Amino acid sequence: MHGAGGYFVSGSFLSDYITAAWGHQFLAGKAELAPKAARRRDGRCPGVGHGCGHNLIGTASCGAAIALKQAWPDMPGTVAVMGTPAEEGGGGKIIMLEKGAFKGVDASMMFHPSFRYDIGSPSLAAAMMTFRFHGRAAHGAVDPHRGINAADAAMLTFAGINAFRQHITSDARIHGVIKHTGDKANITPDYSEIDMVVRAATREYMEELVERVLDCARGASLMTRATFEVERGMTYYDSRQCDSYDYLARENFAKLGIKAEQPGGDVPKASGDGGNVSHAIPHLGITAAISDHVINGHSVEWRDASISPRGHQAMMESAKVLAMTMCDLLYRPDVLERIRAEHKVVTARK
Ligand SMILES: [Zn+2]
Ligand SMILES: [Zn+2]
C-alpha cells in the first residue's frame, strides 16, 4: 500500500521472528508506549509500561522520511524506515541484522528521547541472563532438614556479586532482580529465578564479569545444594560512533538553534541494539530533551514527559535533524565515503 508522502509501506518484516514489527500505533501517531511486541519482550515496568518514550522514536523517523520525500521528491537514493521493536532486552535490531534487514544499507540513524540533547551517546555492551535454582520443598518446621532452599541460593548469588562490586571498573553495571523466591514462609522454597544484566564498556570486559557473576551463582549452588542453570539471552554490543557522522547531526541541531552536546565520561550510559548495528554499518544515535530537568529513565516521570507537548516538540526537532542529516548523506557522496572510511577504523579496534 502507499502511505503518507508517497511512501511505499510494506507489511511486517520477518514476521516469523518479530510480530507486530511495525506498530500501526506509530503511523497513526497515537501515544502508545511501544508496539505490543516491544512491550512484551522489552524491559516492561509494572504500572509504567516501559517508561522510555519509545512512542516518539518511530514517529520521528516517519516524520523525517515524509518530510524528506515531500521536500525532495527525486532524491538520489532510497530511504527506508524500519520498525525495530524490543530495543532493550528483546534485541529486535539484532534479529533483523542477523536476518539481513540491513544488507545493502549504507548508514542508519535513530533518535531516543532524553532529558538532554546529545549526539552519539556511547552505549555499553550488555549480556542478558536468566538464572534458575531448583531446590527441594519441605515443611518449614516439621522437616526443614530435608529441604533445599532455592531462595537462599538466589540471595547468596547477590551477596557474592555485592562483595566484588568494589573491585570492578566504574563503567561496569551489574543489576538483577529476584523474580521468584517462594510462595509461603512455612514452605522451603524449591525454586528461585533471577533476571540478570551485566554491562561494561567493552564486550571483552563484560564477558569477564559474566564469568564472575556465574561463579557467584555456582558458589551459591554449592553452598545450598540447589541446582543451578543459566539461560543466556541477547548480547548487546557497545556502540561505535563515527565523529564525521556525529558532526553532521550536531551542525543540523545548531541550525535549529539547539546546542547538542558530545557526551563526556560522566554521562550515564545505557545499552541498545543499535550498538550491534553500529558494528555492521555507520549508525547515528541522537537524543533530544523531552523535559527541562533531569528525569529518571523507566519512570512515571519519563513516561509522562514522553506524551507531553515538550516530548512532541523533541520528536519534531529530531525528525528535522534526521531529515537534514539524511539530506547531507544523499547530497554529498564524499561525506558518506568519509564516514564509511572512519567506520572501518572504529570497528577494527577491540
Ligand atoms: Zn529506550
Ligand atoms: Zn528503556
pLDDT tens by residue, 300-335: 999 999 999 999 999 999 999 999 999 999 988 899
Angstrom distance (rounded) from CA 169 to CA 7: 47
Using the mean position of ligand 1's atoms as its centre, give its distance from the Cα of residue 88 in Å.
7
Average pLDDT over residues 160-175: 96
Using the mean position of ligand 1's atoms as its centre, give its distance from the Cα of residue 147 in Å.
42
Among 326, 162, 148, smallest CA distance to 249 is for: 326
pLDDT band at 25 (very low <50, low <70, confident <90, very high): very low
**For 207-221, what is each residue's pLDDT tens digit?**
999 999 999 999 999
What are the backbone dihedrals phi and psi of residue 109, each rounded to the nearest 5 degrees, phi first?
-155, 150
Q: Which ligand is nearest to the CA of 57?
A: 1
Q: What is the pLDDT of residue 21?
A: 33
Using the mean position of ligand 1's atoms as its centre, give its distance from the Cα of residue 175 in Å.
17
Angstrom distance (rounded) from CA 245 to CA 286: 11
> Given the C-alpha cell 565520561, which residue does it identify?
265
Q: What is the pLDDT of residue 37?
A: 35
Q: What is the pLDDT of residue 281?
A: 95
Question: What is the percent of the chain where pLDDT is above 90?
Answer: 69
Among 99, 112, 85, smallest CA distance to 22 is for: 85
Q: Where in the chain is the domain with CATH 3.40.630.10?
A: 4-123+239-348
Which contiguous run of DSSP H or E holds residue 237?
Answer: none
89 or 188: which carries more pLDDT confidence?
A: 188
pLDDT band at 155 (very low <50, low <70, confident <90, very high): very high
Q: What is the pLDDT of residue 83?
A: 85
Q: What is the pLDDT of residue 264?
A: 63
Whether the pTM exceeds 0.75: the reply is: yes
Average pLDDT over residues 243-262: 94
CATH of domain 4-123+239-348: 3.40.630.10
Angstrom distance (rounded) from CA 60 to CA 228: 44
Using the mean position of ligand 2's atoms as its centre, give its distance from the Cα of residue 272 in Å.
9
Using the mean position of ligand 1's atoms as its centre, give its distance from the Cα of residue 39 in Å.
11
Cβ atoms of residues 98 and 273 within 8 Å: no
On the question of pLDDT at 299 being above 50, the answer is yes
Q: What is the pLDDT of residue 17?
A: 41
> Given the C-alpha cell 564524499, which residue does it identify?
334
Chain centroid to CA 318: 18
On the question of pLDDT at 256 being above 70, the answer is yes
Q: Where in the chain is the domain with CATH 3.30.70.360?
A: 125-235
Using the mean position of ligand 1's atoms as its centre, give its distance from the Cα of residue 297 in Å.
8
Q: What is the pLDDT of residue 33?
A: 28
The one-letter amino acid code at 149 reads N
**For 189-202, what is each residue's pLDDT tens digit?**
999 999 999 999 99
Using the mean position of ligand 2's atoms as its centre, give its distance from the Cα of residue 22 in Å.
18
Using the mean position of ligand 1's atoms as its centre, give its distance from the Cα of residue 72 in Å.
31
Among 87, 26, 80, 33, smallest CA distance to 307 is for: 33
Average pLDDT over residues 66-89: 86
On the question of pLDDT at 7 being above 70, the answer is no
Cβ atoms of residues 194 and 151 within 8 Å: no
10 or 254: which carries more pLDDT confidence?
A: 254
The fold adopted by the segment(s) 125-235 is: Alpha-Beta Plaits (3.30.70)
Using the mean position of ligand 2's atoms as its centre, give its distance from the Cα of residue 348 in Å.
29
Q: What is the pLDDT of residue 14?
A: 54
Using the mean position of ligand 1's atoms as its centre, give its distance from the Cα of residue 315 in Å.
14
Residues counted in the chain = 350
Cβ atoms within 10 A of the Cβ of 286, count? 26
